[in-house]
């Protein structure tokens, strides 16, 4: 605890204010080529013909990379955890979002690379598009993904993330009131000041030195090695200086294709996205569609929750199954609801693939659940703090994914917000603590769930769910 | 053609319509000015041209024959940090650091022109400089502090620091 209360300068502060911090774009090597990408101008189309010969013949163009150059075209960010892959590194016969990369041209300078991109001959046949997750399930909805319009590979080959807990029918029979709400936070572009960038340098010993803006160096290492089909020891990934990431630089966005160009040209290659490309083609936080229907009592207890979530994955799965799983585990927010019926779908659309952003999968559901708590109080004419404090997680309560909370802080947080906002509460509430439920705070419907869960969630559980997840229907 | 870059005369061979940002980064290998958008929208490429802040991505180098160009490298070194640089470190105004070169350059121009610690005036002067990390407050606070103070405490009070920061005035 030596650092608590002490002034700690940023270790990189002086570098930042003097211009000495070296971002990827600042690394200087000799003989470097610049890369530019051919990206899909369509949201959804078949590629019916592509001819790169004119680009390849252009003076100054040193390498043109297409799907045919990729040793393993499809590899998912979660493949190592058993999630199947769906996204080609470069589009082959179909493009599913506007801005999807199709080819990369590396040339002596950026202008020549751009001219090379323009010299690629390509024909498309446009296909119908899908942008609204709510329409993905319609009979006449266009099919936007080879797996269909939603991810079908949750464990047990289920097509949704499903949670069933307690007895939802009984909860709704016992309810005094039903409170429902729909919540739809929009996509957000991370908009880092530093756009996606990487530079790959072929070394004389056959290795590649990879300078990357990645937030997730070991993801990049694994994903690159898989696509390139080289052992890990051929790759030296240099990272650590990120010009803003916020989750958007978790995806291995540029390194692998840049590496292929560097290998083909046998020269260093840099691929730095323009601001326009960053906005057009870099991943975003997902838009979500969440429907909550709660069975409540007139004195503010939540007996049960039915929830439907449509997670807009964009055109490919990437981390979305993981994000939705986390989301499902948190779908009661910081509160304990014993009877649950949750269905969540990772829905494919012709948007740019979505990814992590600050609390992946959880910020959306926090927004929905907190708004819904206030809505419940509103409908019942109760104090929103009291409704929260009643239902707040307590020691030994059990989460949706059957984890026993060892030390939840909801009560303390709600009380300190009440204090900070001068919100007066009855003594019964003011004196509440996180201690295990008893007395008035232990109504019948909450008794059975106490201490019923596992000790902790593992990463495996986060990706694959926990044992009791998929019971019922 | 010639420019004086951070006090040193430099010959330029790029074509006259080349943006100054590219000349700095690619021809002269002076890389503090950053390419955040190359379209005049973010301010990360800001340098001083004859003392006035200018977006180097929008400045054709041919218009600068004989001009004095100052980049962040010309404002202070790690051994000899300017007041603005110290203030940015002290107030944690640089987070990822990518907007910082433009911010420090623009802040220096604002204070050199007699700018005060008035926070609205600082916001006005830094308008159009995008920072995605800090939320701006720390940047404005740093500049306001640098308006009235020339030395900042950059020492570490933790018991076992693993970082050594050098201080110095300008
Ligand atoms: S790079 Fe010049 S304003 Fe953004
Ligand atoms: S510190 Fe990251 S953009 Fe300003």
Are residues A160 and A203 part of one domain? no
- The pLDDT, as a whole number, for residue A395 is 97
- The pLDDT, as a whole number, for residue A464 is 61
- The pLDDT, as a whole number, for residue A437 is 96
What does the block give as tokens for B117? Answer: 């610690």
Dihedrals φ, ψ of A461, to 5°?
-65, -35
> Of the candidates A253, A281, A309, which is a domain's last residue?
A281
- The pLDDT, as a whole number, for residue B157 is 62
- The pLDDT, as a whole number, for residue A462 is 63
Q: Is the CB of B19 under 6 A from ligand 1?
A: no
- The pLDDT, as a whole number, for residue A471 is 40
- A322 is a domain residue: yes
- The pLDDT, as a whole number, for residue B62 is 97
Are residues A334 and A249 part of one domain? no
Burial of A203 (0-12, 13-18, 19+ CB in 10 A): exposed
> Of the candidates A237, A253, A281, which is a domain's last residue?
A281
Q: Do A10 and B41 touch (CB under 8 A)?
A: no
Residue-range definition of the domain harbouring residue A168: 155-188+284-463
Q: Is the CB of B95 under 6 A from ligand 2?
A: yes
Task: Using 50 as the pLDDT threshold, list the residues of chain B that sit under it.
Answer: 161, 168-170
What CATH number is associated with residue A66?
3.90.1170.50
A285 touching chain B per CB within 8 A: no
Dihedrals φ, ψ of B50, to 5°?
50, 40
| Domains along the sequence of chain B with CATH | 2-74 (3.10.20.30), 83-147 (1.10.150.120)
A236-251 residue pLDDT tens: 999 989 999 999 999 9
Gap from A238 CA to chain B (nearest CA, Å): 17
Are residues A438 and A335 part of one domain? yes
B60 touching chain A per CB within 8 A: no
- A210 is a domain residue: yes
Are residues A273 and A393 part of one domain? no
Going by C-beta distance under 8 Å and a sequence separation of 6 or more, which residues neighbour residue B81? A14, A17, A18, B89, B166, B167, B168, B169, B170
- The pLDDT, as a whole number, for residue A7 is 76
- A294 is a domain residue: yes
- The pLDDT, as a whole number, for residue A468 is 46
Total structural domains in chain A? 2
Are residues A360 and A217 part of one domain? no
Are residues A299 and A266 part of one domain? no
- The pLDDT, as a whole number, for residue B166 is 52
Are residues A411 and A314 part of one domain? yes
- A15 is a domain residue: no
- A138 is a domain residue: no
d(CA A30, CA A201): 10
What CATH number is associated with residue A329?
3.30.365.10
* Spacing, Cα B25 to ligand 1 middle (Å): 13
A39-78 residue pLDDT tens: 999 999 999 999 999 999 999 999 999 999 999 999 988 8
Are residues A160 and A43 part of one domain? no
- The pLDDT, as a whole number, for residue A82 is 80
Q: Is the CB of B99 under 6 A from ligand 2?
A: yes
d(CA A304, CA B54): 60
Are residues A259 and A349 part of one domain? no
d(CA A249, CA A212): 10
- A16 is a domain residue: no
Task: Give the closest of B35, B39, B72 to A25, CB-based.
Answer: B35
Q: Is the CB of B57 under 6 A from ligand 1?
A: yes
Are residues A87 and A102 part of one domain? yes
- The pLDDT, as a whole number, for residue A280 is 96
Ligand nearest to the CA of A12: 2
Report the b/e string of A41-58 with b at 16+ CB within 10 A: ebbbbebeebebeebeeb
Are residues A203 and A176 part of one domain? no
Set of chain B residues whose Cβ sits within 8 Å of the Cβ of A2: 158-160
For ligand 2, atom 2, name the residue with the nearest CA. Answer: B96
- The pLDDT, as a whole number, for residue B159 is 56
d(CA A96, CA A281): 12
- A17 is a domain residue: no
- A160 is a domain residue: yes
Closest residue of chain A to B130, computed from CA coordinates: A193
Closest residue of chain A to B39, computed from CA coordinates: A275
d(CA A468, CA A372): 26
pLDDT averaged over 10-residue windows placed end to end, chain A, 473 residues: 71 94 97 98 98 98 98 91 91 98 98 98 98 97 97 92 96 98 97 98 97 95 97 95 95 96 98 97 97 98 98 96 95 97 98 94 96 98 98 97 95 97 96 96 94 75 54 39
> Of the candidates A281, A310, A325, which is a domain's last residue?
A281
For ligand 1, atom 3, name the residue with the nearest CA. Answer: B40
- The pLDDT, as a whole number, for residue A472 is 39
Residue B155: Cβ within 10 Å count: 11
């Amino acid at each position: 605890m030596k650092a608590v209360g002490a002034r700690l300068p940023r270790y990189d502060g002086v570098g930042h204010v003097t211009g000495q911090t070296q971002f990827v774009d600042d690394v200087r090597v000799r003989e470097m080529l610049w890369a530019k990408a051919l990206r899909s101008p369509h949201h959804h189309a078949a590629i019916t013909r592509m001819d790169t010969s004119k680009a390849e013949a252009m003076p100054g163009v040193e390498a043109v990379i297409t799907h045919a150059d990729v040793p393993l075209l499809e590899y998912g960010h979660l493949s190592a955890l058993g999630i199947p892959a769906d996204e080609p590194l470069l589009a082959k016969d179909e493009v599913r979002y506007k801005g999807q990369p199709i080819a990369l041209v590396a040339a002596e300078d950026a202008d020549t690379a751009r001219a090379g991109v323009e010299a690629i001959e390509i024909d498309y046949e446009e296909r119908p598009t899908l942008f609204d997750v709510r329409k993905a399930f319609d009979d006449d909805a266009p099919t936007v993904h080879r797996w269909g319009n939603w991810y079908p590979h949750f464990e047990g080959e289920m097509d949704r993330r499903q949670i069933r807990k307690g007895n939802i029918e009984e909860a709704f029979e016992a309810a005094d009131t039903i409170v429902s709400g729909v919540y739809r936070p929009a996509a957000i572009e991370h908009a880092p000041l530093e756009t996606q960038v990487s530079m790959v340098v072929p070394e004389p010993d056959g290795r590649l030195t990879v300078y990357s803006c990645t937030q997730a160096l070991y993801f990049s290492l694994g994903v690159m090695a898989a696509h390139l089909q080289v052992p890990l020891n051929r790759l030296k990934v240099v990272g650590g200086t990120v010009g803003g990431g916020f989750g958007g630089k978790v995806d291995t966005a540029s390194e692998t294709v840049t590496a292929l160009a560097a290998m083909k040209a046998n020269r260093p290659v840099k691929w730095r996205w323009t601001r326009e490309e960053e906005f057009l083609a870099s991943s975003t936080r997902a838009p979500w569609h969440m429907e909550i229907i709660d069975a409540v009592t007139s004195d503010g207890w939540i007996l049960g929750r039915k929830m439907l979530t449509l997670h807009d994955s964009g055109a490919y799965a990437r981390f979305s199954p993981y994000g939705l799983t986390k989301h499902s585990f948190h779908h009661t927010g910081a509160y304990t609801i014993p009877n649950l019926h949750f269905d969540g779908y990772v829905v494919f659309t012709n948007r740019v693939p979505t990814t992590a952003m600050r609390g992946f999968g959880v910020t959306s559901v926090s927004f929905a659940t907190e708004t819904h708590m206030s809505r419940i109080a509103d409908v019942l004419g109760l104090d929103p703090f009291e409704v929260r404090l009643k239902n707040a997680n307590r020691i030994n309560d059990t989460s949706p994914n059957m984890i026993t909370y060892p030390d939840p802080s909801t009560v303390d947080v709600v009380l300190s917000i009440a204090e900070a906002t001068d919100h007066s509460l009855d003594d019964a509430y003011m004196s509440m603590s996180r201690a295990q439920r008893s007395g008035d705070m232990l109504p019948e419907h909450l008794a059975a769930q106490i201490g019923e869960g596992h000790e902790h969630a593992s990463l495996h559980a986060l990706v694959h769910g926990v044992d009791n997840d998929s019971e019922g229907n | 053609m010639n420019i004086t870059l951070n006090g040193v005369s430099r010959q330029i061979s790029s074509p006259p319509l080349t943006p100054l940002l590219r000349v700095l980064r690619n021809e002269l290998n002076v890389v503090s000015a950053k390419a955040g958008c190359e379209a005049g929208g973010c301010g990360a490429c800001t340098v001083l041209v004859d003392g006035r802040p200018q977006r180097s991505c929008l400045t054709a180098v041919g218009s600068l024959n004989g001009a004095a160009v100052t980049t962040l490298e010309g404002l202070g070194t790690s051994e000899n940090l300017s007041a603005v640089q110290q203030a940015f470190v002290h107030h944690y105004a640089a987070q990822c650091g990518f907007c910082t070169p433009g911010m420090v350059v623009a802040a220096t121009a604002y204070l050199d022109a007699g700018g005060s610690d008035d926070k609205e005036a600082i916001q006005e002067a830094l308008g159009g400089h995008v920072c995605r990390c800090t939320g701006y407050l720390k940047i404005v606070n740093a500049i306001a502090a640098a308006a009235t103070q020339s030395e900042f405490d950059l020492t570490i009070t933790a018991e076992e620091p693993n970082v050594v920061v050098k201080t110095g005035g300008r």
